[in-house]
Amino acid sequence: MFNLLKSDMYRLVHGKMLWVVTAIVVAASVLVVAMMHAVSSPEFLSMTASAVDMTVTACDDEGARGAASGDEAEGPAAASVAAAAEAVEDVAENAAEAEEGAASGSASAELWASVAEDPQALSEADFEDVSREMRTFATPADMLGDSVVSGGMLTLIVALVAALFCAQDFTTRFARNLVMDRRGRVRYYGEKIVLLGVLAAFFLAVVSLTSVASFAVAGFTYEAANSLTDLLAFFGLTWLVVFAYGCSAAVIVWISRSAGAGVAWAIVVCSGFLGAAVGQVLLSLAVVVPWLGALEPWLLSSCVQDLGAFAGALLGTPAAAPLTMVPVAVQVLIAGVVAAGLCGALALGVLRKRDL
């Protein structure tokens, strides 16, 4: 098994796929930070406030002209007045929500409440205060949860690499040169599972380091630091979920012997798209069958969202998972171990009986 692992590591390091994907991941991480930097800048906030002011003024004027005409408008004019009235109502509702949020003491809520009332009264200092708030994360783990985990990019990337690399063994007939007895197959699949764990750790490290460095350069700060225990819990559970997704893509390739099937699985399932859809279906059916709604938090896609939402305090979250009422960290641990264990059982128990 160790010789197979060394062989695969050599093929990865000296091949193009790993470094091309790594470059894409780094570029995507930097782009995300650049976009967050742009939308949180005082200049962008000021421009958005001006646009809101122009929209409110235009809608008010359009509504006033329609009311002053005294006659019921027809055709395109009626549609225009109706749209203006609806837009004014939406702005009023948004203003009310902003004012309600302002009571909580949020600088951004206060800003948009002021925009709804009188945008011209705002100063550059107001926008700078909101910009500073938007560029402050609670903890480094919260930053990583928002930028690295929540979107599903990390799970998608690892699953794609796993699918493409495992498929190479069949397209290049590398697997046919290995020992064909069942013991040899166990070593083969066992080594691939270990390799997937290494890949998950590698890309997690790359994305995390790139994000931390990019946010630091962009001027983002943190209100507090995480304890070592919280960081270990976050990185360990994130690695487990990413590893489980990578294993699932590899199993699909081993079953189908097709790179296309593995890539399709990665895009549809490992990106979280299918999981989100299934979760919505379960929550909808929970109206009729309540226990189905309790299954939604145990989906791997739900675990990814929980890791992003509670990244800074996974060990401190209250018991909230239905069925067992365990904390988020324990829920993610159980779901990840079950998913990875199922993939391992399929590979080492069922697929080892098939000829490579």
C-alpha 137: how far from its chain's center? 17
Beta bridge partners of 221: 136
Degrees to nearest 5, angle at CA 197 with 195 and 198: 65
Position 256 pLDDT exceeds 50: yes
The contacts of residue 320 (CB under 8 Å, 6+ apart) are: 297, 327, 328, 331
**CA 165 to CA 325: how far, in whole Å?**
39
Q: What confidence tens digit (pLDDT) does each residue in 288-328 have?
A: 888 888 888 889 999 999 898 888 888 776 655 555 567 88
Domain that holds residue 156: 136-353
73-77, 194-198, 327-331, 351-355: segment of lowest average pLDDT: 73-77
Phi and psi at residue 221, in whole multiples of 5°?
-130, 180
Q: CA 24, CA 101: separation in Å to the nearest integer? A: 38
Q: For 1-49, write each residue's pLDDT tens digit.
A: 778 888 889 989 998 999 999 999 999 999 989 998 888 888 877 777 6
- The confidence score (pLDDT) of residue 243 equals 97
The answer on pLDDT for 100 being more than 60 is: no
Rounded distance between C-alpha atoms, residue 158 and residue 152, angstroms: 10
More confident residue, 107 or 345: 345
Does 65 fall in a domain? Answer: no
Task: At 231, list the tokens.
Answer: 């960081």
SS3 at position 309: helix
> Closest by alpha carbon to 163, among 237, 270, 11?
270
Report the pLDDT averaged over residues 187-208: 94
Q: How many independent structural domains does the chain possess?
A: 1
What pLDDT is stored for residue 290 in this prediction?
83
Q: Which tens digits make up the pLDDT trace of 117-138?
A: 555 556 666 677 777 888 888 8
Burial pattern 43-67, b for ≥16 Cβ within 10 A else e, equals: eebbebbeebbeebeebeebbeebe
pLDDT of 262 higher than 50 = yes
Query: Mean pLDDT across the stretch 59-74?
Result: 56
Lowest mean pLDDT among 40-44, 186-190, 204-208, 278-282: 40-44
What pLDDT score does 67 carry? 59
Q: Which of 10-14, 92-96, 128-132, 226-230 has the lowest mean pLDDT?
A: 92-96
Confirm whether 299 is domain-assigned.
Answer: yes
| Full DSSP string of 97-162 | HHHHHHTTT-HHHHHHHHHHH-GGG--HHHHHHHHHHHTEES-HHHHHIIIIITTSHHHHHHHHHH
Domain-embedded: residue 259: yes
CA–CA separation, 41 and 318 (whole Å): 35
Query: What distance in Å separates the CA atoms of residue 249 and residue 290, rounded to the nearest whole number?
Result: 31
Q: Mean pLDDT throughout 194-220? A: 94
First vs last C-alpha separation in the chain: 16
Q: What pLDDT is stored for residue 118 in this prediction?
A: 57
- CB-CB contact of 160 with 271 (8 Å): no
> What is the radius of gyration, based on Cα positions, of the chain?
26
The Cβ of residue 229 has, within 10 Å, a number of other Cβ atoms equal to: 10
In a domain, 209, yes or no: yes
Indicate whether 173 pLDDT > 60.
yes
Per-residue pLDDT band for 99 (boundaries 50, 70, 90) equals: very low
Widest Cα–Cα separation across the chain? 90
Q: How far apart are CA 41 and CA 28, in angstroms?
A: 20
DSSP conformational letter for 326: -
Partners of 136 in the β-ladder: 221
Q: Is residue 31 part of a domain?
A: no
Q: Which two tokens stand for residue 120?
A: 């011209």
The Cα–Cα gap between 3 and 114 comes to 66
Is 206 inside any structural domain?
Answer: yes
**Domain presence at residue 212:** yes
Token pair, residue 176, equals: 């046919």
In a domain, 103, yes or no: no
* H or E segment and range at residue 345: helix 328-345
